[in-house]
């Protein structure tokens, strides 16, 4: 009997070939005609990023895979439309700038700054429905899809939110570019990036010493050369989000004639989540045809053989800078699971960049029902990962954090010793808990010490 399901090969890829496979975590819309109209409008709108920016990032990620750079990826678990405000966006940039400054000083490498922003509006969920007091409604899947309030009208997927997500992403990127091009990230004046962290943290003096050392080194070089180093006035920032909603991602995917390739121009670095990395699934099919660098989240269920097949499907030519493997295994299991994944990729001689996400495998709930993460467990998974990479002859080339530049109380622990009963003071996340600015800086300072080549 003839097989009616087409077998897809690389040269047969199309931006919509994913529709022929099973697509997990996709919303169901009640008005297909409205959805079609919105997707067509998105298809005609200008792209959010450029292929030149994407190729620049891919080149930098290739350098990170060779040990010449380090990837810092961080930001909100899930952005929301309400927080598309200048002050909130500026604080996100500030915390990433501060963290990168510490990492540059500690590990002696240039840092690639990638924000989980300007598009992180959709989230996968473990259950299709949420039940409260006997009432069952569709789960909240992020502002790109439906709304947080627990009502039938709010939880109904609304295709017009796709346009709102595009607009909010464009506004965010525009402001970020204005800040970075206008000297916001000028290394001559790192004191302008300071958040309240430096006023009361136990490690404030350490951060001050790092800032002073960099400023002194910069003055020395400029005095010696007799001219100002203008390139230090700005730094590169790249955007990233989980490429979950495939119709949205497809609408912003364009063919670029100058290179003869397809690019997803909704973001620089999209990633495939742990729930949607099936080899025969729609997400892998879509991602294998775009020319962006792509990330893949690897949870505890990842099998080494599956990993090699996944690498082969997504990067058959072994292109440098193409693939970022983000392991998120949990502090209790990373020691058991990570070595076999590293060994499999090393044995297959695959060109990948390894990145640690110590957040997602360490989520728990308090007695009050709040989702939280323990700072010590996050730190422990990070420490174990660094040690395991060294033992296996590989290198941890990046980290992936859910964090914010705000004074939230969502993760327990840290220098202030936040306890479960403290979380209600400023628990603001709509989905998963984030490190606050002080915890994020503690993490960066600790990581810088662990990566310091002098300490190896």
pLDDT in tens, 411-447: 999 888 899 999 999 999 888 999 998 899 889 988 9
Of 435, 308, 280, 282, which is closest to residue 373 (Cα–Cα)?
A: 435
* 147, two tokens: 């709304």
Q: What is the pTM of this model?
A: 0.91
SS3 403: strand
- Helices in 182-294 by DSSP H: which ranges? 197-200, 204-225, 246-251, 282-287
Q: Does CATH place domain 15-128+237-455 in 3.20.20.70? A: yes
pLDDT at 1: 35
Of 360, 351, 343, 356, which is closest to residue 305 (Cα–Cα)?
A: 343
pLDDT at 101: 84
Mean pLDDT computed over 311-327: 97
SS3 131: strand
Q: Spell out the residues 6+ positions from residue 162 whose beta carbon is closer than 8 angstroms to its own.
A: 38, 39, 42, 144, 245, 247, 248, 251
The sign one gets for the Cα dihedral 101, 107, 112, 118 is negative
pLDDT at 6: 40
Least-confidence region, from 151-160, 171-180, 327-336: 171-180
Of 234, 237, 217, 191, which is closest to residue 74 (Cα–Cα)?
A: 237
pLDDT at 407: 87
């Amino acid at each position: 009997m003839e097989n009616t399901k087409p077998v897809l090969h690389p040269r047969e890829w199309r931006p919509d070939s994913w529709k022929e496979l099973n697509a997990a975590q996709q919303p169901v819309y009640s008005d297909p005609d409205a959805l079609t109209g919105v997707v067509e409008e998105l298809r005609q709108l200008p792209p959010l990023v450029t292929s030149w920016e994407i190729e620049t990032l891919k080149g930098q990620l290739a350098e990170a895979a060779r040990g010449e750079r380090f990837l810092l990826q961080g930001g909100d678990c899930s952005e929301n439309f309400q927080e598309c405000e200048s002050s909130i966006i500026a604080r996100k940039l500030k915390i990433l700038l501060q963290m990168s400054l510490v990492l540059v000083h500690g590990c002696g490498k240039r840092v690639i700054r990638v924000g989980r922003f300007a598009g992180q509006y959709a989230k996968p969920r473990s259950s299709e429905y949420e039940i409260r007091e006997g009432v069952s409604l569709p789960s909240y899947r992020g502002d790109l899809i439906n709304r947080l309030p627990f009502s039938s009208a709010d939880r109904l997927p609304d295709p017009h939110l796709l346009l709102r997500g595009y607009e909010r992403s464009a506004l965010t990127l525009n402001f970020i570019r204005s800040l970075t091009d206008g000297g916001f990230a000028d290394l001559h004046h790192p004191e302008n990036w300071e958040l309240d962290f430096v006023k009361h943290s136990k490690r404030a003096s350490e951060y001050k010493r790092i800032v002073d050392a960099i400023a002194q080194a910069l003055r020395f070089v400029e005095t010696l050369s007799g001219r100002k180093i203008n390139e230090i006035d700005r730094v590169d920032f790249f955007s990233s989000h989980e490429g979950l909603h495939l119709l949205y991602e497809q609408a912003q995917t364009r063919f670029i004639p100058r290179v003869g390739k397809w690019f997803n121009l909704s973001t620089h670095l999209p990633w495939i989540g742990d729930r949607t990395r099936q080899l025969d699934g729609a997400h892998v099919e879509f991602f294998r045809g775009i020319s962006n660098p792509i990330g893949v989240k690897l949870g505890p269920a990842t099998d080494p053989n599956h990993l090699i097949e996944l690498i082969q499907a997504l990067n058959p030519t072994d292109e440098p800078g193409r693939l970022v493997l983000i392991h998120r295994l949990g502090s209790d299991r990373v020691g058991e699971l990570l070595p076999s994944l590293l060994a499999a990729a090393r044995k297959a001689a695959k060109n990948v960049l390894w990145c640690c996400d110590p957040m997602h495998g360490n989520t728990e709930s308090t007695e009050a029902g709040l989702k939280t993460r323990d700072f010590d467990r996050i730190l422990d998974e990070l420490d174990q990962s660094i040690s395991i990479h060294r033992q296996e002859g590989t290198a941890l080339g990046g980290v992936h954090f859910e964090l914010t530049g705000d004074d939230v109380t969502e993760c327990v622990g840290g220098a202030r010793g936040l306890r479960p009963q403290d979380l209600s003071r400023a628990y603001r996340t709509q989905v998963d808990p984030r490190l606050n600015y002080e915890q994020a800086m503690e993490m960066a300072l600790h990581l810088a010490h662990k990566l310091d080549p002098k300490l190896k």
